[in-house]
Chains A and B, each alone.
Chain A
């Protein structure tokens, strides 16, 4: 049951290139704004580079979450999926997984470029990639709850940010500290374990809460 749903979502993602391309373009634009607005020196790069990277990742993810369920909600597919799927939870999970592939996984693969633009040293690249790989699932999973609750509003964007950004805080803390420890040449296994833990916790509550949120939003129609 998971495979056909997953294949369908993946096909939708591949055909809707804007949904993948636009957030990534926004991400690099934001990197540029940071770099121009506060020219980073060698010292401050090591200090703030990780934090800036993660803040941009957080904001990009938040922006792409707004469109997570919107199209399916508007054209009625979502209602069909929720009411006909044997286990709606699986359908929602496959949607979230594909959203993560389009944002989190892509960011992980683009991390070397981000590090280059933000002036992070090469030695930090593997840890940055690992931190993104472990931390971004939590963003997609927890963020989807907010997206599910706000999908019924025509302009849910700001409310979505208000709801999900406080929950992203732990990911920011451990993600940024993993990178800054890697830059300093220390082992950063502790924050990486934390990121993995937060993602696991998000996996246990995110899909259930998202399904419940979608049910509520569908009744608002």
Chain B
């Protein structure tokens, strides 16, 4: 199937619903496998940090949560662009599915950050640059959430939140770098694309596994939410009814 064909097919929520079923399962299994390996490897087998002792191990939750939370927001901005330009219904479904998951991950990143900050920085909360940029991310998520709650019309709700997600995505780099430049006691990013990690491989390999695991979990979670949303929105159509009628017949 060519890319163009795929693009046209994505216009149909029904096609997405049918196509995504095996992918949700696959991502779910991959996430479970990677997370179990990553957690055991990171918490049990990875060596202690020479300065931070065992407390650094929260990194294996903290870093992936913060990374994927940002990706989810940017993904939402891309979905917003698709919705705005091509008026693709599925993009609005994606935005709706990304929001609760994004809020959850950002909260997790802030919480684990506090847990990590207590032994290393001596405080649960510090107005550090990276902390603030994660908090701003949470507020951006909450802003779109509040906007969606306030608009009744489905199509307008989608377009308004798409617009906001796009503007937010353009602003994210400016906000992120201005806050980091402003004040940081945060250790530098654990992973960058351009440089070799400063940690030994025994430490960063489990982190990589965890990051991939959380990405798979994000795909699993967001796709599942999208499927439920599609069923709700299309509940009056024949194909959704057939889905349940057939199930009932075969079940009895």
Contacts and interface: CB of A to CB of B under 8 A. Distances in A.
Chief secondary structure at chain A's binding surface: helix
Contacts of B207: none
Contact of A166 (B136, B159, B182): B136
Interface in A147-190: 149-150, 152-153, 159, 162-163, 165-167, 169-170, 173-174, 177
A216 B164 contact: no
Contact of B179 (A159, A169, A194, A213): A169
Interface stretch (B50-58, B98-106, B140-148, B236-244): B140-148
Interface residues of B, number: 28
B185 interface: no
B120 interface: no
A207 to B, nearest CB: 12
Contacts of B156: 216, 219-220
A170 B166 contact: no
Given A216-B159, A220-B153, A163 B164 contact: yes
Contacts of B179: 169-170, 173
Interface residues of A, number: 27
B163 interface: yes
A63 interface: no
A139 to B, nearest CB: 13
Given A167-B175, A209-B163, A216-B159, A177 B151 contact: no
Given A173-B181, A213-B163, 5 more contacts: A142-B171, A145-B163, A149-B147, A167-B171, A177-B182
Interface of A: 142, 145, 149-150, 152-153, 159, 162-163, 165-167, 169-170, 173-174, 177, 194, 198, 201, 205, 209, 212-213, 216, 219-220
- The 10 tightest CB contacts between A and B, nearest first, are A170-B178, A166-B139, A163-B143, A173-B182, A162-B143, A166-B136, A173-B178, A216-B160, A216-B159, A170-B174
